[in-house]
């Protein structure tokens, strides 16, 4: 029996979802999105036991993108809508989501990575939107999430030229949050997740909801939302402050 095309591991509140078609450079097909959707549904229902999520790829890269063979075989519009829906659900998970990118991250894979709250890149990471190369247009979120990440005119340049952006440039244009050497990448990603998990899960989830709910609002409306729809304090706020005071003493 072959291994699943998406693997899930759980460790201390951290869930790792691994794209697992390394022989195909993790090219994205319908089966992978069905499995991703199943895992995302389970994670969304577990805010008290899952504090952070990593999406990554097995083998040589994050993902080379949408499986062009599936398109050639006549992938249906309903299937494409499934994939867009799964990416949206990933973006809206209550927990912080980290896209850990090494090697190729092209087109559909970039749309998937952009659903992460944080994108961490290894030195080998390469990003591109190649819809234009194949005569395609995005329906998984590229036209909305890429300009929100890097600005509309940089997004236009990436989409019109289809050129590849390396990890260093990804940092400079705001596409990735941080870059790490390849041999340090796994350790560095885990260090980031450990920091997130050590902080209040209540705060992380409430802050994420606040950011999503106010995205695109005028400043005054966003400030009013923050003030009057604030979710308050975590159940352990007093214990956290007391522990800090004890350390200072």
Long-range contact pairs involving 165-170 (C-beta distance under 8 Å, separation at least 24)? 165/126, 165/127, 165/128, 166/125, 166/126, 166/127, 167/121, 167/122, 167/123, 167/124, 167/125, 167/126, 170/119, 170/121, 170/125, 170/127
Same domain, 38 and 150: yes
Same domain, 149 and 193: yes
Same domain, 170 and 125: yes
Q: Is residue 240 part of a domain?
A: yes
Same domain, 83 and 177: yes
Same domain, 40 and 85: yes
Q: Is residue 1 part of a domain?
A: no
Same domain, 127 and 182: yes
Same domain, 127 and 154: yes
Q: Would you call 232 helix, strand, or coil by DSSP?
A: coil
Range of the domain at 220: 201-248
Calculate mean pLDDT across residues 66-83: 73
Calculate mean pLDDT across residues 6-27: 97
Same domain, 96 and 184: yes
For residue 170, give the H/E element and its range. helix 167-172
**What pLDDT, in 10s, does the model give residues 119-130?**
999 999 999 999
Same domain, 113 and 83: yes
Number of independent structural domains in the chain: 2
Q: Residue 168 belongs to a domain with what CATH number?
A: 3.90.226.10
**What pLDDT, in 10s, does the model give residues 166-207?**
999 999 999 999 999 999 999 999 999 999 999 999 999 999
Q: Is residue 113 part of a domain?
A: yes
Same domain, 164 and 237: no
Same domain, 91 and 63: yes
This prediction has a pTM of 0.94
Structure confidence at residue 4 as a pLDDT band (50, 70, 90): very high
The mean-pLDDT minimum among 91-95, 128-132, 199-203, 231-235 falls in 231-235
Same domain, 243 and 183: no
**What pLDDT, in 10s, does the model give residues 36-73?**
999 999 999 999 999 999 999 999 999 999 998 776 66
Q: Is residue 148 part of a domain?
A: yes
């Amino acid at each position: 029996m072959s291994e699943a095309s998406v693997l899930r591991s759980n460790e201390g509140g951290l869930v790792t979802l691994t794209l697992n078609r390394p022989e195909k450079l993790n090219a994205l097909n319908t089966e992978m999105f069905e499995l991703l959707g199943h895992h995302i549904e389970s994670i969304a229902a577990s805010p008290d036991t899952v504090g952070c999520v990593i999406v990554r790829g097995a083998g040589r890269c994050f993902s080379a993108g949408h499986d062009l063979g599936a398109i050639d075989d006549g992938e249906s519009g309903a299937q494409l809508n499934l994939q867009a829906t799964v990416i949206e659900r990933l973006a809206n998970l209550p927990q912080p989501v980290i896209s850990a990118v090494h090697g190729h991250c092209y087109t559909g894979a970039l749309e998937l990575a952009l659903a992460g709250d944080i994108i961490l890149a290894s030195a080998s990471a390469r990003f591109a939107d190649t819809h234009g190369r194949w005569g395609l247009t995005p329906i998984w979120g590229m036209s909305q999430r890429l300009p929100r990440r890097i600005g509309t005119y940089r997004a236009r340049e990436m989409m019109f030229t289809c050129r590849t952006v390396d990890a260093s440039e990804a940092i400079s244009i705001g596409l990735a949050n941080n870059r790490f050497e390849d041999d340090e990448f796994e350790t560095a990603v885990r260090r980031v997740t450990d920091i997130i998990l050590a902080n209040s899960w209540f705060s992380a989830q409430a802050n994420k909801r606040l950011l999503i709910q106010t995205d695109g609002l005028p400043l005054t409306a966003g400030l009013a939302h923050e003030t009057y729809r604030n979710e308050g304090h975590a159940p352990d706020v007093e214990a956290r402050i007391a522990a800090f005071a004890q350390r200072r003493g």
